[in-house]
Chains A and B, each alone.
Chain A
Amino acid sequence: MSERTIIPFGPQHPVLPEPIHLDLVVEDEKVIEAIPSIGFIHRGLERLVEKKDYVDYVYVAERICGICSFIHGLTYCMAIEELMKVQVPDRAQYLRLIWSELSRIHSHLLWLGLTADSFGFESMFMQSWRLREYILDIIEETTGGRVIFGSAKIGGVRRDIPLAKMDEIMKKMRVYRKDVAALCEQFMKDQTVKHRMRGVGLLSREDAISLGAVGPMLRGSGVAQDIRMTGYSGYDRIGFTPITETAGDCYARCMVRVREMDASFQMIERCVEQMTDGPIEVKVTGNPNGEFFMRSEQPRGEAIYYAKANGTKFLSRLRVRTPTFANIPPLLTALAGCQLADVPVIVLTIDPCISCAER
């Protein structure tokens, strides 16, 4: 038996901009075990709920994550709306769906670039971020912000998208859909990509369920679970079906994300067809009371917001469980037995977002 060594990985690492630290126990080049430590960028945003009133906290919730910011704000708003028994107008729900799916596309394009970059496919990184920029432009035109949308509010949305603008956007989106599909095809059919990803970082269906994997990590192992199936924010009306792959390796997880991007384009199109004119918000009065669990599907998986209110304008407790946090135990299982050079690739296929895992 060869000698065991511990190799530290992160929080500063050339291929991984996310501050997660892993102690990799290796035997020669083989990883035997990975021991994680997180907590480098804890900001205490959940505690802030005691100082910001429930309306202002939407701005804080949006800043929990810089990539899926809109869905964080949206989930918080939906939790408060459930507490206050507010019925959000249809048009607002459709607009929320469009922005959620736009943020999913831009997040997956960002992930595609980073994953390609993790094994030196730098031109793919450049091209996928170029396409992401077009999506960000659409987001900026419709919400006013590129990363922080600032368009979700309790009781509806802050901005409407006029009909003429919507047509113009849809015209662009049809072109982008083809571009993204072509780019993804190049990535997924590439021989090197297949070589680096097939059979690497295996996570069985049983492990995925018992370790509580969420999002593409879970669906890549063949479990058809997606919180959008619960039909929040209009997903029940556009005929949503979850996307699954059965292999459970890095390639399957990539395939899930690639197919999800195409599905998001489709969903936006269907949503625009179904949308009717109407109010985009309802006036909310009073203070929330009671407690509620709200779940939503972020690009990385299921996010849970637990809100406990006491009838004043300040909530007494807010707890956020983000998808990356849930995906760390399955990641450690997937890392055991892999080659040292495959560690960055496996870590990137969970699409880590440590800043939202630590809040």
Chain B
Amino acid sequence: MSLMGFAKVVLKNLFTGPVTEKYPFVPKVYPQGARGSVNIELAKCIFCGICQKKCPTAAIVVTKEPKAWEIDRLRCISCNYCVEVCPKKCLALDTKYAPVTITRTTDKFSAQPVA
């Protein structure tokens, strides 16, 4: 590389600032349509269990009695298949990832208040 070319790169890099984002001081902006974690709008859900049947990693468990929808966040691969097949369109993928955990727990959403 010639000296002139080298000087050009140095000058450019001096004035453009860092390429990396200053996470966590600057929050990460996810693009629209990024596949993050699955969310459910429980009021619309009819507990048909299609999402459970179609889930390729068997992360979702749906029970009719009592009405409940459970997801194992560590099994979920955010493939969007459950969202595609949901007849009531009550499932949606958030652009954000599921929060970090250190234990394998399931997120349970229940239609009736838990006693």
Across-interface contacts of B56 in A (CB, < 8 A): 52, 56, 59-60
Across-interface contacts of A56 in B (CB, < 8 A): 56
Question: Could you mark each residue 1-42 of chain B with 1 if its beta carbon is under 8 Å from any beta carbon of chain A, else 0?
Answer: 100010000000000000100000000000111110000000
Q: From B1, B19, B35, give the contact of A150 (CB < 8 A).
A: B35
Across-interface contacts of B19 in A (CB, < 8 A): 130, 133
Q: Interface range on chain A: under 10, 10 to 19, 20 to 34, or 35 or more?
A: 10 to 19
Counted as pairs of residues, one from A and one from B, with CB atoms less than 8 Å apart, the total is 37
The answer to whether B1 and A186 have CB atoms under 8 Å apart is yes
Q: From A137, A142, A150, A159, give the contact of B79 (CB < 8 A).
A: A150
Interface of B is mostly: loop
A145 located at the interface, meaning its Cβ lies under 8 Å from any Cβ of chain B in the complex:
yes
Which partner residue on chain B sits nearest A133 by CB separation?
B19
Residues of B34-67 at the interface with A, using a CB-CB cut-off of 8 Å, are 34-35, 56
The answer to whether B35 and A144 have CB atoms under 8 Å apart is yes
Do A158 and B33 contact each other (CB < 8 Å), given the known contacts A52-B56, A130-B19, A186-B1?
A: no
The answer to whether B35 and A145 have CB atoms under 8 Å apart is yes
A122 located at the interface, meaning its Cβ lies under 8 Å from any Cβ of chain B in the complex:
no
Q: From A60, A150, A186, A189, give the contact of B80 (CB < 8 A).
A: A150
The answer to whether A141 and B35 have CB atoms under 8 Å apart is no
B77 located at the interface, meaning its Cβ lies under 8 Å from any Cβ of chain A in the complex:
yes
Interface residues of A (CB under 8 A from B): 52, 56, 59-60, 130, 133, 137, 140-142, 144-145, 148, 150, 158-159, 186, 189-190
Interface residues of B (CB under 8 A from A): 1, 5, 19, 31-35, 56, 77-81, 84, 93
